[in-house]
């Protein structure tokens, strides 16, 4: 009997909190995460849209130490190269209104053959820089093969 009276002496059990009380902060967290993901997707999409995009190509020709240069400035056309030769193209970069982080990406079959003189760097406000893209044609490259792809130059405003 004493046990019953001691249980009753503690008073009534505390009321439990409503079931939805725990769900409210999780909902706010989910919405915040979704908004941040949407902002990141928009930012990345905008950078892809505004990136400088260059078509790149080279044609392998027969012979030794033969180079045929294409004088265009609109694309990265390395011309015609025989095996064990190279050609260089340049891109001029300028940071206009603020410090800019520059990243250069290469796509396509030609991407593995191009070496970039400098990548992942900060260009200070108002500065200009010439970046060299060097194409080296390996001796084992098959004659009359065309290598093509793209080079994208991303210029991200530096906020950090």
pLDDT in tens, 7-59: 455 555 555 555 555 555 778 888 899 999 998 888 888 777 778 899 999 99
CA distance 141 to 151: 21
Give the tens place of pLDDT for each residue, 5-15: 444 555 555 55
CA distance 37 to 144: 46
Looking at per-residue pLDDT, the higher value among 51 and 153 belongs to: 153
In a domain, 15, yes or no: no
- Say whether pLDDT at 1 is over 50: no
Judge if 133 and 70 occupy the same domain: yes
Q: Give yes or no for a contact between 82 and 62, defined as CB atoms under 8 angstroms apart.
A: yes
- The confidence score (pLDDT) of residue 126 equals 86
Judge if 33 and 111 occupy the same domain: no
Domain limit, last residue, from 35, 50, 65: 50
In a domain, 99, yes or no: yes
Instruction: Decide: helix, strand or coil at residue 56.
Output: strand
- Say whether pLDDT at 152 is over 90: yes
Judge if 42 and 68 occupy the same domain: no
Q: Give yes or no for a contact between 84 and 67, defined as CB atoms under 8 angstroms apart.
A: no
Judge if 27 and 71 occupy the same domain: no
CA distance 148 to 160: 36
In a domain, 79, yes or no: yes
Domain limit, last residue, from 31, 50, 69: 50
Judge if 74 and 41 occupy the same domain: no
The pTM (predicted TM-score) of the whole model is 0.69
- The confidence score (pLDDT) of residue 160 equals 63
pLDDT above 90 coverage of the chain, percent: 40
Q: Give yes or no for a contact between 58 and 112, defined as CB atoms under 8 angstroms apart.
A: no
Nearest to 146 by CA among 48, 54, 50, 78: 78
- Domain containing 35 equals 21-50
* Average pLDDT, integer, range 82-101: 88
Judge if 99 and 140 occupy the same domain: yes
In a domain, 137, yes or no: yes
In a domain, 61, yes or no: yes
In a domain, 16, yes or no: no
In a domain, 2, yes or no: no
Judge if 69 and 135 occupy the same domain: yes
DSSP 3-state helix, strand, coil percentages of the chain (rounded to 5)?
A: 25, 40, 35
* Average pLDDT, integer, range 76-95: 89
pLDDT above 70 coverage of the chain, percent: 78
- The total of structural domains in the chain comes to 2
- The confidence score (pLDDT) of residue 4 equals 52
- Say whether pLDDT at 118 is over 90: yes
- Say whether pLDDT at 63 is over 80: no
- The confidence score (pLDDT) of residue 98 equals 87
- The confidence score (pLDDT) of residue 96 equals 79
Judge if 67 and 46 occupy the same domain: no
């Amino acid at each position: 009997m004493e046990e019953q009276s001691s249980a009753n002496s503690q008073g009534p059990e505390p009321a439990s909190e409503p079931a939805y009380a725990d769900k409210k902060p999780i909902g706010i967290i989910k919405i915040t995460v979704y908004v941040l993901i949407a902002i990141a997707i928009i930012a990345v999409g905008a950078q892809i849209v505004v990136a400088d995009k260059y078509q790149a190509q080279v044609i392998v020709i027969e012979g030794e130490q033969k180079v045929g240069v294409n004088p265009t400035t609109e694309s990265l056309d390395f011309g015609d190269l025989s095996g064990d030769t190279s050609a260089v193209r340049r891109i001029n970069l300028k940071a206009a209104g603020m410090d800019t982080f520059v990243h250069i990406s290469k796509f396509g079959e030609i991407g593995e053959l191009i070496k970039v003189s400098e990548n992942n760097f900060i260009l200070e406000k108002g500065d200009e820089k010439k970046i060299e893209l060097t194409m080296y044609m390996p001796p084992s490259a098959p004659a009359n093969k065309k290598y093509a792809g793209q080079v994208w130059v991303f210029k991200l405003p530096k906020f950090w």
